[in-house]
Structure 1
Amino acid sequence: MEAKKVGCIGGTVALMGALGALLTGIANFGGLFKGSAADPPANSSAVATAASPAQPPAASTTPAAPATVYFQGHLDFGHFNFDLNPPKRTGDTYVWGGGGVFESYHDAAKLAVWTSGGTPDRAGCASTVDEQGKAYISGTEKGNHVCGRTAEGRVFRIDVTGVAETFDGGATGDVTVWNK
């Protein structure tokens, strides 16, 4: 009967050893996901290094390049197509400003007045036009910023420097047009 007890104890020890090896393997396998090549599992660095999947390259933290300026200058408003450099009239497709009004003819641009403080950058103007853009805006006055997007996708800003008293008088403004 004693022989059976020894065999049972030996089997228990063998089973415990196998269970221990299995748990060690699971711990090492889990370490592949929790650790890194710089921090492998303590009991088997060779396993973690050899079996680790290739790591994807780190995401770039370089900020996006600022938008480049396509045109910048002062304009006495008449009829301007901001897809041209310098802006000028092209047939019936143009933006006109006068008497507190800015209007886009034949889909030359979508327009919106900047209502937040400060001077909008390209992203601010693009967002404003996306939310409020239309072909006709009124009530503009000296000091306003008019944002727009041309038919070809260029974002622009008109810093209104003057508005004529009458509807037939022109507006003046410092204009910045950014590349697409």
Structure 2
Amino acid sequence: MTAPVPPGGGRGGSSHRGAWIGAGASLVAAVVTVLGAYLLGPGGSGGAAKPPAAQEPPVSTAPAQASAAPATAAAPSAPPGAASGAAAGASPSAPAPSAKAAGTVRWEGVLVIAYAEDKNLDVSPPVRAEVNADNDFSVYPFGDRMLRPERGAKAMVWADTGKVPAYADCAAVVDTQATGKEMTMRTGMTVCSRTDEGRVARLTLKEQSGQGADTRGTFDVVVWDK
């Protein structure tokens, strides 16, 4: 007796088995793929593949440079007086000596002018210059004792006996009234003069003595800077 055949002739069971076999093959293939990716990943050591490190965007220096330029352009100028303040903070160098103002006393004292011992009033103290042209005054006997301006110097007797002339007094008249002529020496007389180098001087005769080659005069002298 033949056994009954279920509907479909048993093909349904075969169909289900085929589906399961196909699913299993797909699963195996997926596993193999994952395993291959695992083994062939970076480092090849079988470890888990490390994801690529995130790259930071390159830092551009352009903005910094651009911002630096305006800062330089906007730098404020030094306030007035800053340079002088800086100079004041520094150690000042020694100032160069300046020429004395006109009318400043260059030399003052007692001066003896003797025969053949002419005096140069442009040096301090006045002495006899080796070059005769540099001397300003001499004395000599000529009946009376005489005072003579020498070689470019000029002199005049101050007429106001009640006043001792100051620098301004002598400077005001010496260029218009003084001459190079000799004058008779009188004790107490005051002479305004200008030396051959242009300095104003005042000579007051305090004493005179001697004859001939011993003639001499003692003067109070003031020489001012020009």
> Smaller-chain TM-score range?
0.5 to 0.7
- Structure 1 pair 140/79, CA: closer, same or farther in 2 (3 Å)? same
- Structure 1 pair 126/98, CA: closer, same or farther in 2 (3 Å)? farther
Select the structure that is richer in strand. Answer: 1
For residues 56-110 of structure 1, give each alpha carbon's deviation from its aligned partner in whole angstroms, at most 9, with x where no partner exists: xxxxxxxxx8821000110111311111111112211311135542112222x11
Q: So what's the TM-score if we normalise by structure 1?
A: 0.58
Q: Tell me if 1:106 matches 2:151.
A: yes
Could you tell me which of 75, 93, 99 is aligned with 2:111? Answer: 75
Give the aligned length: 115
Name 1:42's counterpart in structure 2. none
Q: So what's the TM-score if we normalise by structure 2?
A: 0.47
Asked if structure 2 preserves the Cα contact closer than 8 Å seen for 1:83 and 1:150, the reply is yes
Rg (Cα) greater in structure: 2
In the alignment, the residues of structure 2 paired with residue 167 and residue 96 of structure 1 have an alpha-carbon distance, to the nearest angstrom, of 13
Unpaired stretches in structure 2, ≥5 consecutive residues: 1-100
Which contiguous aligned blocks of 4+ residues in structure 1 show a shift greater than 6 angstroms? none
Equivalences for residues 110-125 of structure 1 within 5 A = 110-116=154-160, 117-125=162-170
Asked if structure 1 preserves the Cα contact closer than 8 Å seen for 2:147 and 2:184, the reply is no
- Structure 1 pair 66/79, CA: closer, same or farther in 2 (3 Å)? closer
For residues 92-135 of structure 1, give each alpha carbon's deviation from its aligned partner in whole angstroms, at most 9, with x where no partner exists: 1311135542112222x111110113100111112232232112
Equivalences for residues 1-180 of structure 1 within 5 A = 67-77=103-113, 78-90=117-129, 91-93=131-133, 94=135, 95-99=137-141, 100-107=145-152, 109-116=153-160, 117-164=162-209, 166=211, 168=213, 169-180=215-226
Higher relative contact order (CA 8 A, sep 6+): 1
Unpaired stretches in structure 1, ≥5 consecutive residues: 1-64
